[in-house]
Amino acid sequence: MPLVLGLLAWHGVARADDVYIIARGEVHPGRHEDQGMQLLQAALEASKPEYGPYQLSLSPIPLQHKRLLLEMATGQTVNVSVQLTNKELEQNLTPIRIPVDKSLASFRIALIDGRRQAEFTRIKSLPQLRKMAAGVGEQWTLREVYAQNDLRIVTGSNYAGLFGMLMAGRFDYLPRSIEEALQEQPEQAPSYPQIAIEQSFALYVPAPRYFFISPAAPRLAKRLLAGMEKIIANGEFDRYFVDYYGPAIAKAGLCQRAIFRMKNPGLSSETPFKRSQLWFDPFSAAGRKLACQEGKPVAGKIGAH
């Protein structure tokens, strides 16, 4: 069903607790909103036989992380968002513990000054990488995780300024999710012609992105979970993942990269690691079809989390 039809998928006046207002993205509003809206719509459509009609819309303005948490607490202006999870979020909001991107965001590739690629190609281990400085945003969920893994970090106060800091040599690399890096490099190239995607390594840190629901709307959480489980069971979730993320996974070249694994102490004990079908693994048979047109990744399997 086209997105516009999903926004109109209600008859008469819908119940107030069936009105979903998804957070407008701050950094890449078009891409992330489209991804979140499409998956949310698919789950809500699947739940219609049991729960009935719904409304789906975007919040009026983009919100930074701290402000978003405040607004989500009441559910007045926004009641659903997609976030990299941590214990604080799961304690204050209601998580739907199904990684919306099969935790593809757990794989981090880097933006660098392309003239320095040879320096990074010589890095063969995480201890070697720790000698380099990583740039991070002040409110990024993974900022603390990087520090806990003993990465050297340099913090930037705003998103736009990070690219200038990178190219000025304030830090050595800027770790980003695969889809962020692929989008940001061409966006920033007109201002920074030497900015490039690093080619030799990827970081792996378990970092599932969940739908979070306002604690003031328990019915919305129950309905969304039911819908997500339905599209997992009928195969729609897998088809969505391949269609939406397949091209980016292939372009990222994971098969040619050393993968440096890190821990994420900020994950709760309820993280669904045992449900392997919810996690992208480039070393599995299905994962190799997306990530490895030829050969196989150069580092060992992801293994147990």
Residue 199 and residue 71 share a domain:
no
Q: Are 24 and 30 within 8 A, CB to CB?
A: no
Mean pLDDT of 58-81: 88
In a domain, 54, yes or no: yes
Residue 94 and residue 64 share a domain:
yes
Mean pLDDT of 242-261: 92
CA distances from 167 to 116, 134, 173, 200, 215 (A): 11, 12, 9, 19, 42
Secondary structure class of 40 (helix, strand, coil): helix
In terms of residue numbers, what domain contains 131?
Answer: 107-204
Total number of domains in the chain: 2
Q: Are 18 and 223 within 8 A, CB to CB?
A: yes
Given a cut of 80, whether residue 295 has pLDDT beyond it is no
3-class secondary structure per residue, 238-283: HHHHHHHHHHHHHHHCHHHCEEEECCCCCCCCCCCCCCHHHCCCCC
What percentage of the chain has pLDDT greater than the value 90?
A: 71
Residue 193 and residue 148 share a domain:
yes
Q: How confident is the model at residue 32 (pLDDT cuts 50, 70, 90)?
A: low
Given a cut of 80, whether residue 71 has pLDDT beyond it is yes
Residue 51 and residue 12 share a domain:
yes
- Domain final residue pick, 157, 188, 204: 204
Per residue in 116-152, pLDDT (tens digit) is 999 999 999 999 999 999 999 998 889 999 999 999 9
